[in-house]
Structure 1
């Protein structure tokens, strides 16, 4: 009888505690919403390119210091990291936002549109937050403010990570999450879990989308150089033709996905994005160069594609009397953005409670990539999509990410602040040993 009474009382108490906490989080997020919007507008108007986020970092660091947080700057060149210490034992929860803009000319008619210019690989280019990183920073600043004001309810520490160069470092440089991890961003204090949100111009405001396991693809760029024998185009029998070799290679590489992977389980992409060889209609060249990208959503598929690429490139080159060099990966690669299944199952109820069960959507994985994956290689992580599309805009009319017309509505950010805050609070409460 006594055991049964406890079983009934504890859930009721838990629900009551959640309700009180949610009410406070909602009030604090509402109180700061105008500031979050203001921060977003400023950051949008003054974007900076990857590894060049100097003024952005100053702006973010100044705000974090105003909260009396322990702030570190210059991480991975321009990154900013702040720690909120509750003074009580508990886990270390990391929250991450990316900071860089893109070399894209903004075409939106906004009072806070970007007119900024920057240098990209030696050329002067327009700069725009064409992927929503301005909203990511503003939402994380909002979550930092709310969590700081709720410090007495925390158990453990919160690490706020503002990361540069998610879009990729300039040629000849390294950057982004990979470098932040190398420089110890998940250490001192050691991070137990990490959460991240990405705004989506294709998902309705008020929604949160997620997937368990492989969520965004690993990225593995590659280069193939085929060496043949040059000859006059009228006498092809005197050549070892790298162009026909390349043609056979391109078609064969597509069979890795269509014939070697169990595609109902192992979605993957092998794309040749560029091919160069020859300079005249009547000369068979001695060399062809191809570059491309591989996208995979699980480790077994990734390993298989690596093996199959090497096998096919060598085999086809040998069969044509040519030689070939495969460079894989080429200059960078991203792991799979992998949402830890146990963590996802544990935390999705928090998201459902915050956004609403009908607004929390199990989505299919995508073959785009995110360097949030470097954190998830080291600690369990959960990465989700936050809706930013106005409800009165049809999906087909919503501009795509990385385009001059890209737009997400300010109204979506309050939910992002609440989700980041509640994930932190609930994780800490569940691990308050």
Structure 2
């Protein structure tokens, strides 16, 4: 059935790619998806978390509720691929007009889920329970001053009525061969915890530093000191962790030591113990260094948002691994290392067991070293990778309904 509808899946992908929309602005995308789902005869809800679309397939028989999720938003990136279905769309991002592109494959995610919805609807008689198709806005992050994405969908009850028992999600991968799927149990993508440190000192002439309490020198020591949390306090043989300072602001002249310096950074962790440790250690380290320099420090952690760990339930992974093997062949199911990127699919997994898998989108004749990166103008994944995703979403649902509950 996946082979039969593959031309349609490709057609849907091309349309969605050609007309991308930014986070919390997926109005036409949502309309396109909702119209398709209504055409399948499904119960469709719109306007969830602003532009989200949810459809329910009820088999009429008792059984679990399986949720399948795809994200919908594009990115403020100018497409440089020479494709007949290239995006030339424009949008507004934080007050500026910007080009818009599906530079992370969300167009393929929607098309794959639409394909799974079409097959599962046709196989309604073989189902037990219900399937909830979740098309989520704003995975890439809501515009400044707004909320969005999976966190808002959960707060608005997307996992309720009917109560979801398990959730599956896929992400296309530009550096994984078409036909392959990557998986792991436990922490698979990192928690995200942005933070801000404001170091306050005493201003003085740069020629007379002994009259100052220098926040710049203090900030330099804080930046280096924070790295020792990862290198000397965490058990890195278990999981990786990252503390990165991405922004420094302080001072305005070469010969003035300023009153204060602001640091903004991000924390990435793959297990809760490391996350908890850094939450304790970062303020301790900052305060200790600031005290030693006679400065004061204020720490805001988390800063304005945070994501949990994208955590693949180990028991669920064990149950569904035979489905992966059956769908793609055992040799094409690749056990993967965790990555320190993040996904707000984690908000669903906080509430119900879930699996998040990577599906290959790299053409076989392109070396991995030459595959364009996600979030770049050259990003490209091949249409031929989507059939694997359609099969996986369908088989995971059917198999869980039969033996996974």
Q: How does 1:393-404 map to 2 (within 5 A)?
A: 393-404=366-377
Residue 150 of structure 1: aligned partner: 123
Stretches (4+) displaced over 6 A: none
Distance in structure 2 (CA, Å) of the matches to 1:181 and 1:158: 17
Tell whether 2:331 aligns with 1:347.
no
1:331 aligns with 2:301: no
Distance (whole Å) between structure 1 residues aligned to residue 325 and residue 68 of structure 2: 19
Tell me which residue corresponds to 2:364: 391
Instruction: Give distance in 1, aligned partners of 2:309 and 2:249.
Output: 30
Cα contact 1:95–1:140 (8 A) shared by 2: yes
1:368 and 1:210 mapped to 2: Cα distance?
15
The residue that corresponds to 1:23 in the other structure is none
- Aligned to 2:351, the other structure's residue is in SS state coil
- Give, in whole Å, the separation in 1 of the partners of 2:343 and 2:329: 26
Structure 2: stretches of 5+ with no match in the other structure: none
Give the SS at the match of 2:174.
strand
Q: Distance in 1 between matches of 2:321 and 2:83?
A: 35
Aligned length: 405
Per-residue deviation at 1:431? Answer: 5.0
From 346, 360, 366, give the equivalent of 1:373.
Answer: 346
Contact map agreement 1:143 1:421 (CA 8 A) in 2: yes
SS at match of 2:202: coil
Distance 2:203 2:51 in 1: 49
SS of the residue corresponding to residue 365 of structure 1 reads: coil
Correspondence for 2:161:
188
Q: Deviations over 1:31-86 (max 9, x none)?
A: 11000000000000000000000000000000000000000000000000000000
Q: In structure 2, what is the equivalent of residue 5 of structure 1? A: none
Equivalent residue number for residue 230 of structure 2 = 257
The whole-number CA distance in structure 2 between the counterparts of 1:281 and 1:40 is: 53
Question: Conserved in 1, the CA contact under 8 Å of 2:319 and 2:404?
Answer: no
**Matched-pair contact (CA < 8 Å) for 1:218–1:336:** yes
Instruction: Show the counterpart of 1:119.
Output: 92
* Matched position secondary structure for 2:47: strand
Deviation at 1:319, TM superposition (A): 1.0
How far apart are the structure 2 equivalents of 1:172 and 1:412?
A: 36
Structure 1 residues 168-317: aligned runs within 5 Å: 168-317=141-290
Distance, in Å, in 2 between the alignment partners of 1:217 and 1:127 is 26
| 1:266 positional shift | 3.0
**1:76 is the counterpart of 2:49:** yes
Deviations 1:217-267, CA, capped at 9 Å, x for gaps = 000001111110000000000000000000000000000000000111131
Shift of 1:318: 1.0
Deviations 1:309-366 (A, max 9, x none): 0101111111111111111111110000000000000001101100000000000000
* CA–CA separation in structure 2 for the residues paired with 1:170 and 1:313: 30
Distance in 2 of aligned mates of 1:163 and 1:318: 46
What's 2:385 paired with?
412
Q: Root-mean-square deviation (CA), in Å?
A: 0.6
Deviations 1:359-382 (A, max 9, x none): 000000000000000000000000
Q: Which has the higher Rg, Structure 1 or Structure 2?
A: 1
Partner of residue 67, structure 1? 40
